[in-house]
Amino acid sequence: MKFLVTGGAGFIGSHLVHRLQSHAPVHVLDNLTTGRRDRLVGSGCRLFEGSILDRTLLAEAVQGVTHIFHLAAMVSVSESVAQPSACEQTNVEGTRQVLEAASKAGAKRFVLASSCAIYGNDPKTPKNESLPPAPASPYAESKLAGEKMCAASAVPAVALRFFNVYGPGQDPHGPYAAAIPSFFQSALSHTPITIHGDGKQTRDFVFVEDVTAALFHAALHPDLGGVYNVASGQSTSILQLAQKIISLTGSSSTITHTPERPGDVRFSSASIERIRATGWAPRTALEEGLTRLMPKN
């Protein structure tokens, strides 16, 4: 075996690379726009620095590869709303080119990192894979397009719909920072925690180690096809999350509210029965995962 991880210097991608390193050689293709080289230290991977839209570099990166994990993408819903054309170019055309390169290289398996954003604001909960797609942002539209390309691909492919992934090494900075690292940073500095909207919106938070286990599981089980939710199966409101982190850290932080962000989904909780039936299950409860993110004194 030989693996390729596009977006392998990103948050989830780098955790996956470290998981894969003991199994087979790993190639990483990443333009380092949001990915970081230091995340790959000690992984033994071969880094191809550049874009998935660079056909020459992509052909070099897939040479001899048997299994491809496609994580490279514009991942921010808000950014996709602001820059829909850039989102389509990276997430749709980029996925098309990676699939074409995979086919030419004779790859045996393709795993797409998709998203729960595809469900949109459908009020039915928990979200299961049989619900009709209702994408509410260019990002969600782009991920749905990627799933459709996987279904039509010559390379055996599967799409995993990630819910809200968190874990060590997640970036707490910037306007599109994920809630958990951002909340931790504020709580540890005893500054106000900012929530977009009223905080009653819910999310299904899944620990990054559980996600990389699901990716590896999907790659090595060729009978898996179509789409699968990857989540904890538990729903938590953003307000509850902030309160948990304040309590865990013993922080004096207060909670402030700003207007809702465009394209944000209101309620999100997952059914994971479909992937659980294949032998994968999450192992890390939210309380345990949050505890593991606490700085070591």
Residue 282's contacts (CB-CB under 8 Å, 6 or more residues apart) are: 206, 207, 210, 231, 232, 233, 272
The mean-pLDDT minimum among 13-27, 254-268, 271-285 falls in 254-268
- Highest CATH level, class, for 3-165+205-230: alpha beta
Rounded to whole angstroms, the Cα distance separating 253 from 236 reads 20
pLDDT by residue (tens digit) across 37-55? 999 999 999 999 999 999 9
CA distances 284 to 11, 165, 204, 219, 273, Å, are 18, 12, 12, 21, 17
pLDDT at 176: 63
Asked if residue 286 lies in contact with residue 203, where contact means CB atoms within 8 angstroms, the answer is no
For range 145-154, the mean pLDDT: 97
Neighbours of 276 (CB within 10 A): 14
Domain ranges within the chain, ordered by starting residue = 3-165+205-230, 167-203+234-270+284-292
Catalytic residue numbers, as ranges: 139
- Residue 61: name the closest of 50, 72, 73 by CA: 50
For range 180-184, the mean pLDDT: 95
The fold of the 167-203+234-270+284-292 domain, in CATH, is UDP-galactose 4-epimerase; domain 1 (3.90.25)
pTM of the predicted model as reported, rounded to 2 decimal places = 0.95
DSSP symbol at 89: I
